[in-house]
Structure 1
Amino acid sequence: MKMLMRADTHYSIVVSGSDYEKPKYTFSQILAAVAVSMGSMIIGFSSAYTSPALVKMENSTRISISEEEASWVGGLMPLAALAGGILGGPLVDYIGRRKTILMTAIPFFIGWMLIATAKIVHLVLAGRAICGLCVGIGSLAFPVYLGETIQPEVRGTLGLFPTAIGNIGILICYVAGKYLDWFELAYLGSALPIPFLLLMFMIPETPRWYISRGRTEEARKALQWLRGANTKIDNEMRDIALCDAEVKNDSSFKDILSMKYMKAIFICLGLMLFQQLSGINAVIFYTAKIFQMSGSSVDKHLSTIIVGLVNFISTFLATALIDRTGRKILLYISSVTMTVTLIILGTFLYIRDNLHVDVSKLGWLPLTSIMVYLLGFSLAFGPIPWLMMGEILPAKIRGGAASICTAFNWLCTFIVTKTFYNILVAIGPAGTFWLFGCICFVGLFFVVVCVPETRGKSLEQIENKMTGRKARSRRMSSIVNIKPLPSGC
């Protein structure tokens, strides 16, 4: 699944009798994380749908679909998500984070029902467009909601929920796709928004949004619910109010175009570009077709299930390593792993198709290559671009710039998924995977030259480095007033 994380600055000095309670995994915060992450499950299911479904659509007696139309079934969702990413920015600000997320549930249901009942390809395309719009809105709104509701000290673990549950959505789609026809799989997709909608009704709007609208009492109630009935929240309420005042006084959309912020935006856009041009969504959208094309000895539907499992498990591996080894080291490993596996897969296809060598004894190689490729991607280039977007974008422009980066990511996703078949026809399967491998290799140099290491640094330290600004000192009237700051700008 796709996530925006924020690392907040706090002092490590603990003061007895502080108004801040020790961070804890309250039931309320876990419920909020699960509720929002159910939306990520729908996104994961939507992204993976075409992999098992297109193979069955093309052999279906219920619907007639051409190769070009099939490419649009895969490519239309990320194109609509591009529009949703742009629309999501204003929506979360004007109607609220929770209402924006809630309003995606019913369109998700309608979109899947259109696909499930379709007897002409145009209804399938309409359903994919509606789902794609919701995917774009959700991919921006989900991390914003979690970033504003979960305590920073436990956000690393609870913040994993959207990615993990999103990967469960992919896995469910792959497993069900082995046994269900394409329209039956769509009926399953239409059931997912129901628990999502019910859980979202159980959680409140974010305290920060209430504060931004001057609804202080509602903000206090929401924060008290999230932190627990007996938790002291006075200092956190004060910090949220101060942060909101600072953003209101200083922020402007024109600042996004300021030269001092362009470096941070360029790095985020670069990471998004190499994330998508690595070919990941071509692999996720068309997993079954890739195995069918490669002549793998493993059943194509079983292969997709194995791929889903690898994608799911690797999420937890990335979480265990990301704060120990650092972002750049993992990005190096990720780039090299993807480059090597894509080159090996391309070479396998070239030897088989162009040199006409018997490779039947190597039928396990395509599955192994893609498994290792996905492991490498999920280790760094999957989660880190979203994590670093929250870390290196300055607070003053974070909302608007994040919307631009999200939309750009979906634009790249559309380009890759829509042109995948065209590239296959133009340069062949071997050339296609070699091309993706070369892009991953270029991405390695981009990381070496441009991407900063952010592990263990506060947002202020990162922002000072990115903008060339001198660090600001904090003035405290007394050592007694130095307290942990569980929420920052």
Structure 2
Amino acid sequence: MSFREENEEGRDLRKPFLHTGSWYRMGSRQSSMLGSSQAIRESSISVVACVLIVALGPIQFGFTSGYSSPTQSAIVEDLGLTVSEFSWFGSLSNVGAMVGAIASGQIAEYIGRKGSLMIASIPNIIGWLAISFAKDSSFLYMGRLLEGFGVGIISYTVPVYIAEIAPQNMRGSLGSVNQLSVTIGIMLAYLLGLFVEWRILAVLGILPCTILIPGLFFIPESPRWLAKMGMTEEFEASLQVLRGFDTDISLEVNEIKRAVASSSRRTTIRFSELKQRRYWFPLMVGIGLLILQQLSGINGVLFYSSTIFGDAGVTSSNLATVGVGAVQVIATGVTTWLVDKAGRRLLLIVSSAGMTASLLLVAVSFYVTDSVSESSSLHNIFSILSVIGVVAMVVAFSLGIGAIPWVIMSEILPVNIKGLAGSIATLANWLSSWVVTMTANLLLTWSTGGTFTIYMVVSAFTVAFVSLYVPETKGRTLEEIQRSFR
């Protein structure tokens, strides 16, 4: 039997419009539970549809990340930028994202996950237009900052929304769609960059958010956020829509209510309270994973992949970059299938160990190619090995450390500190990303082999961090995970 008993035949179930009101009414439903695969299938379709709509946000995220690689030479030539100035352009999205990250938690808490995504879409659109019409570096920088601000909000809100709407047995796979969408956005930027000039590519960057905005009107708000805000009717309606109208949601409703019962509406928490283990431990795990994800150097590789392949002797470096983007999409797709089967910890360890090995291969290859003659067979062999190592690094990253830190962050943070703690964790991620993207071009100019050696050491440390501190969250409800830290 569904949780909410209907006393009158034909009573309507309202589906939330943004986070209040409704945009349509569902007709009367049967109160009996089918208890069959059909109910599960209908539930899955409903949740998957919501995930596919909000996944437009991470596609925008990825397009922003991938934009600088195929456009570097053209922008530098057209606007007369130096390498240092273009490095600023590449990294300013991270500066904007840090500001967005600071605001993301509070925005998502006060106006809801959907309202937060709506707000994030607007500066993204304005930012791409500014880049498209840029006549000098000032418009480029302004546009990149605006894009970054929107992406900073998206990077926190989307994984949290997905975690809060997904059934526990699908949460890992659906959560990994966030990173899969990022890789699709990167690949699209790489691919389209082969055929269109940089101003038109910037205009195309508007599309994900312009589709996302109307799409938000067709999905329910997060039931856990509605419950925290005390919107009981909307909370139950949202959960019923997500789970299917013939599914008994009473147990899940009661568990969510118990989890938020200790937190009053719009409760704030003092920084001093973060000293409690149930707060500092999940926050430490979330921050640690998101920092290590970036310090592994992945954005340095993706932002400047054309330069790296050029240094390795690849003649069609932009085409090779598109190949890397495609490989990343495929590997991340495999992760979405594995994460609820193999578990989070195992994939993180395998991923980090694989990155360590591949980065070692790249570092050694570049050291050798720098020390031997370009005409020697040894130079050619190690040039090929360096390309193989870069591709292997991207594959290893995509199999775990790319997607899973965002999944775990959205799972382990207690509901009453999620806004504050999520902002801190997301800020740490973007600060680390800014450091990497700002220094990558300069480090590569200094020593390509030395750059990859630094990234290798970080990946080796990640293996130890995951082994010692990261809990397994597969197959557990969000409420069970939070109780385990008390």
Using structure 1 for the length normalisation, give the TM-score: 0.83
- The superposition leaves residues 139-169 of structure 1 with CA deviations (integer Å, 9 ceiling, x where unpaired) of 1111222233333344344334322222211
| Matching residue of 2:434 | 414
Q: In structure 2, do the counterparts of structure 1 residues 260 and 149 end up closer, same or farther at CA, with 3 Å as the change threshold?
A: closer
In 2, Cα distance between equivalents of 1:267 and 1:213: 27
Summarize the alignment of residues 40-189 of structure 1 with structure 2, pairs less than 5 Å apart. Answer: 40-60=58-78, 63-189=79-205
| Matching residue of 1:474 | none
Q: In structure 2, do the counterparts of structure 1 residues 41 and 32 end up closer, same or farther at CA, with 3 Å as the change threshold?
A: same
Residue identity in the other structure for 2:338: L
Structure 1 SS opposite 2:467: helix
1:279 aligns with 2:297: yes
- The superposition leaves residues 217-274 of structure 1 with CA deviations (integer Å, 9 ceiling, x where unpaired) of 3444434443445555555444444433233289734422335533332232222222
Summarize the alignment of residues 299-448 of structure 1 with structure 2, pairs less than 5 Å apart. Answer: 299-356=316-373, 358=376, 359-426=379-446, 428-448=447-467
CA contact under 8 A between 2:171 and 2:340: conserved in structure 1?
no
Offset at 1:365? 2.6
Offset at 1:284? 1.3
Structure 2: unaligned runs, 5 residues or longer: 1-30
CA contact under 8 A between 2:100 and 2:148: conserved in structure 1?
yes
Structure 2 SS opposite 1:173: helix
1:267 aligns with 2:285: yes
Residue identity in the other structure for 1:155: R
Q: In structure 2, do the counterparts of structure 1 residues 333 and 429 end up closer, same or farther at CA, with 3 Å as the change threshold?
A: same
Using structure 2 for the length normalisation, give the TM-score: 0.84
Q: In structure 2, do the counterparts of structure 1 residues 148 and 264 end up closer, same or farther at CA, with 3 Å as the change threshold?
A: closer
Residue identity in the other structure for 1:424: L
Q: In structure 2, do the counterparts of structure 1 residues 78 and 370 end up closer, same or farther at CA, with 3 Å as the change threshold?
A: same
CA contact under 8 A between 1:108 and 1:134: conserved in structure 2?
yes
Q: In structure 2, do the counterparts of structure 1 residues 89 and 459 end up closer, same or farther at CA, with 3 Å as the change threshold?
A: closer
Structure 2 SS opposite 1:125: helix
Structure 1 SS opposite 2:442: helix
Q: In structure 2, do the counterparts of structure 1 residues 144 and 390 end up closer, same or farther at CA, with 3 Å as the change threshold?
A: closer
In 2, Cα distance between equivalents of 1:115 and 1:159: 31
Q: In structure 2, do the counterparts of structure 1 residues 398 and 306 end up closer, same or farther at CA, with 3 Å as the change threshold?
A: same
Structure 1 SS opposite 2:444: helix
- The superposition leaves residues 422-447 of structure 1 with CA deviations (integer Å, 9 ceiling, x where unpaired) of 32344x11111111112212222333
Percent identical residues: 34
| Matching residue of 2:14 | none
CA contact under 8 A between 2:256 and 2:479: conserved in structure 1?
no
**Could you tell which deviates more after superposition, 73-82 or 215-224?**
215-224
Offset at 1:37? 0.5
- The superposition leaves residues 176-231 of structure 1 with CA deviations (integer Å, 9 ceiling, x where unpaired) of 01111111211111223221122112223333333433433344443444344555
| Matching residue of 2:5 | none
Structure 1 SS opposite 2:218: coil
- The superposition leaves residues 114-154 of structure 1 with CA deviations (integer Å, 9 ceiling, x where unpaired) of 10111111101111100100001111111222233333344
CA contact under 8 A between 1:318 and 1:380: conserved in structure 2?
yes
| Matching residue of 2:261 | 245
Which of 244, 256, 281 is matched with 2:274 structurally? 256
Residue identity in the other structure for 1:383: A
Comparing both chains, which one has the higher relative contact order based on Cα–Cα distances under 8 Å and sequence gaps of 6 or more? 1
In 2, Cα distance between equivalents of 1:253 and 1:19: 46
Q: In structure 2, do the counterparts of structure 1 residues 449 and 145 end up closer, same or farther at CA, with 3 Å as the change threshold?
A: closer
| Matching residue of 2:51 | 33
Offset at 1:453? 4.0
Structure 2 SS opposite 1:413: helix
Q: In structure 2, do the counterparts of structure 1 residues 240 and 134 end up closer, same or farther at CA, with 3 Å as the change threshold?
A: same
In 1, Cα distance between equivalents of 2:120 and 2:480: 37
In 2, Cα distance between equivalents of 1:46 and 1:117: 16
In 1, Cα distance between equivalents of 2:137 and 2:221: 39
Q: In structure 2, do the counterparts of structure 1 residues 464 and 110 end up closer, same or farther at CA, with 3 Å as the change threshold?
A: closer
- The superposition leaves residues 292-341 of structure 1 with CA deviations (integer Å, 9 ceiling, x where unpaired) of 222225x1111111111111011122233334444333333222221222
CA contact under 8 A between 1:23 and 1:153: conserved in structure 2?
no
CA RMSD after TM alignment: 2.7
Offset at 1:399? 3.6
CA contact under 8 A between 1:315 and 1:379: conserved in structure 2?
yes
Residue identity in the other structure for 1:304: T
Offset at 1:57? 1.3
Residue identity in the other structure for 1:38: L
Structure 2 SS opposite 1:134: helix
